[in-house]
Amino acid sequence: MSSAQQEQDKVFFKTFGIVMVILTGIAIAALLAAYIISHSTAEEGMRPEEVALIKKRTNPDYQVVAEGGETQATSTGEESSGGETLSGEEVFKQTCHTCHVPGAAGAPKVSDKAAWEERYADGIDTMYERAINGYNAMPPKGGNPKLTDQEVKDTVDYILKRSGVTD
């Protein structure tokens, strides 16, 4: 091998080594960033009621309770056991809050008075019907089939009042 060829090889290996060190550094930085992100919790910037709603929605639907040798299944997500009627505010906090506070999936934000006035112009009965049967991306009863029609109507009234459309 000639001296010129050996010099080219040295330059190549030196450049290759520098590139490998840089790529390794980038990979380590990416892994470190992923570790930091994965170990920060989503709960840090959330209000306590938002954390409670998320925990409630991610609980299993049923749990087995053994008592005195008997086993029974109980619903953990059932809020109005015993025929208790929920207020519009309670339904909003449990069901509607998830989409209507941040405006998820095109839902009008509860703070957007103009959006609610536009819907209110269609008539309150139309708003009730859409809330009960679903409309656009919103599922019937906001995705909670356990709600009664009256609870849904009370929730629509609550949202209209909270948004400033009605008194």
Domain ranges of the chain: 3-40, 78-163
Share of the chain above pLDDT 90, in %: 38
Beta-bridge partners for 67: 70
What mean pLDDT is predicted for residues 69-92?
Answer: 61
Exposure string for 46-75, b = 16+ CB within 10 A, e = fewer: eeeebeebeeeeeeeeeeeeeeeeeeeeee
Domain at 78-163, CATH homologous superfamily: Cytochrome c-like domain (1.10.760.10)
pLDDT 10s digits, 138-159: 889 988 888 899 999 999 999 9
Report helix, strand or coil for 65.
strand
Q: What is residue 67's predicted lDDT score, i.e. its pLDDT?
A: 55
pLDDT 10s digits, 11-29: 999 999 999 999 999 999 9
Q: What is residue 41's predicted lDDT score, i.e. its pLDDT?
A: 55
- The better pLDDT of the pair 104, 78 is held by 104
pLDDT 10s digits, 58-73: 766 555 555 554 444 4
